[in-house]
Amino acid sequence: MADAPLQALEHEILAPLVIDAMATAGLPKEEIGALVFAMCRPYTLQKYFATFMANYLRLPLKGTIMEVLGNGMTGGMAFDEAVNAVALGHSDVALALGINMESQANSAEHMMTTMRAVGDVDFHSIFGFTPISWYAMDAVRYMHEFGATRAELASVAVKDRRHAALNPIAQFKKPLTLDEVLGARPIVEPLGLYEVPPRSDGAVCLVVCAEEVAKASARPYALVRGRGFFHEGAHQINEVPNDMTAFVSAQGAAATAYRSAGITAADLDLAELYAPCTIVQVLAGEALGLTPRGKGAAQAAAGETSLGGRIPICTSGGCLSRGHPAYSTGLLTIYELWEQLTHRAGERQVRNARLGAGSCELGNYNAALVHVLEAVA
């Protein structure tokens, strides 16, 4: 409730996570040389949150400190930049972290800002396009071209909720039926309430370090084995008509990531995709080569992307049920991969998980960032 008394402030929530993360990594705070923050939402009053936190945590830094902003890709870019800080030798230990508080925001007012982020202010926002309205148009086109059904798309939300029920940090764990998903009030047709993201709060801290540091710590870790990025040079829609639902940026980023990891999509044991809507998970899964083009929805309905299926997608419960604190979602993606690849995922553990892919995106997947992580035997 917007008028409820304050219970906790951003730095009071994030600092204990940093301490926990470093304790889990078995590293002393003096080793940290770089802090890369996912930028906070505008609702966070403390500006220059990164340097404020460096003071709060008493952390002198010889590497770098920054807040990154990459629209929906923000959390993923924070991780990417922390990896870079280590790879470039700026610091042997870097933290990728963020806190995204927005559940108190009024949705209609929140969208007055986000509508200006997902389109040309003077030629798109004038019509009231919202972020998820673009995904809804993906859904309409996809069903038209490939004959995918509403029930097949909706099955993704049911599957994600089943996964989330096994995830202690998930926002929504109560079981959801297909009928409930299909009968929900419409938000952006054809998508209803359970096929679009909730408003979420979330905080994450990841420890990124040089491999020799990880080895010396004698703690479980995962390796960053591949990375790919692509931006198609278009903002929401390509002014030259193209196949909008192919998600060409995700295709390009995945191809680069797989090549740099020396793998193919078939080698992956799981994937954690940035997918704010059911349709986005289907299309991103196809673009990453996890399901065949045009078959992603049907394969989700058939259980191929569920835990225990051929290629589990969004074992965390994904944006729809784990939650979607947008600027931190990309960090949560890597967190889930780390849990799976260090075999800490409990009841939702993918057996013998060795290779996992994570994606994040901005716009209508106009850009994508894909990481491949590997378990250390």
Partner 1 sequence: MTLPIVDVARTRPWPPRVSSFTKPFWDALAEGRFLTTRGRTSGRLTFPPKPFCPYDWGREIEWVELSGRGKLYSQTVIHAVPAAFAGEAPIRNGIVDLDEGLRVAARILGEPALDAAMECVVLRYTDGPLFAFRGR
Find the shortest distance in angstroms from Cβ 193 to partner 1. Answer: 9
128 binds partner 1 (CB under 8 A): yes
Q: Is 274 a catalytic residue?
A: yes
Q: Cα-flanking dihedrals φ and ψ of residue 89, to 5°?
A: 80, 10
- Give the one residue of 71, 74, 100, 133 binding partner 1; rule: CB under 8 A: 133
231 binds partner 1 (CB under 8 A): no
Q: Cα–Cα distances in Å, from 191 out to 172, 188, 307, 363? A: 18, 5, 24, 18
Helix (H, G, I), strand (E, B) or coil at 191: strand
Q: Cα-flanking dihedrals φ and ψ of residue 332, to 5°?
A: -65, -35
2 binds partner 1 (CB under 8 A): no
109 binds partner 1 (CB under 8 A): yes
Q: By rule CB under 8 A, what count of residues binds partner 1?
A: 42
E strand segments, 190-327: 191-192, 202-209, 222-231, 270-272
Contact segment (CB under 8 A) with partner 1 among 138-146, 170-178, 214-222, 329-337 equals 138-146
Catalytic residue chosen out of the listed positions 135, 142, 258, 274? 274
- Give the one residue of 12, 20, 120, 179 binding partner 1; rule: CB under 8 A: 120
Distance CA 358, CA 360 (A): 7
Nearer to partner 1, 98 or 192 (CB): 192
**Cis ω for the linkage preceding 5 (within 30 of 0):** no
Distance CA 17, CA 100 (A): 14
Contact segment (CB under 8 A) with partner 1 among 57-65, 110-118, 301-309, 311-319 equals 110-118
Contact 227, 217 (CB under 8 A): no
Q: Which amino acid is at 292?
A: P
Contact segment (CB under 8 A) with partner 1 among 33-41, 84-92, 107-115, 330-338 equals 107-115
8 binds partner 1 (CB under 8 A): no
127 binds partner 1 (CB under 8 A): yes
Contact 327, 276 (CB under 8 A): no
Contact 260, 228 (CB under 8 A): yes
- Give the one residue of 107, 149, 177, 264 binding partner 1; rule: CB under 8 A: 107
- Give the one residue of 141, 162, 219, 293 binding partner 1; rule: CB under 8 A: 141
129 binds partner 1 (CB under 8 A): yes
130 binds partner 1 (CB under 8 A): yes
Nearer to partner 1, 162 or 199 (CB): 199
Q: Which residue has the tokens 């938000």?
A: 187
Nearest to 119 by CA among 353, 334, 324, 362: 362
Q: Is 56 a catalytic residue?
A: no
Q: How many CB atoms lie within 10 A of CB 266?
A: 10
- Give the one residue of 112, 216, 266, 376 binding partner 1; rule: CB under 8 A: 112
119 binds partner 1 (CB under 8 A): yes
- Give the one residue of 140, 169, 178, 184 binding partner 1; rule: CB under 8 A: 140
121 binds partner 1 (CB under 8 A): yes
* x/- map, 149-188, partner 1, by CB under 8 A: ------------------------------------xxxx
Distance CA 175, CA 206 (A): 30
Catalytic residue chosen out of the listed positions 221, 327, 335, 365? 327
Nearest to 237 by CA among 252, 226, 247: 247
Nearer to partner 1, 16 or 186 (CB): 186
Distance CA 361, CA 280 (A): 10
Considering only the C-alpha atoms of the chain, give the largest distance between any 2 of them, rounded to a whole number of Å: 57
Find the shortest distance in angstroms from Cβ 145 to partner 1. Answer: 9
- Edge-first strand order for the sheet with 93-100 is 64-68, 32-38, 93-100, 202-209
> Which residues are designated catalytic?
274, 327
| Residue ranges in contact with partner 1 by CB under 8 A | 106-109, 111-112, 114-115, 119-130, 133, 136-141, 144, 185-190, 236-242, 244
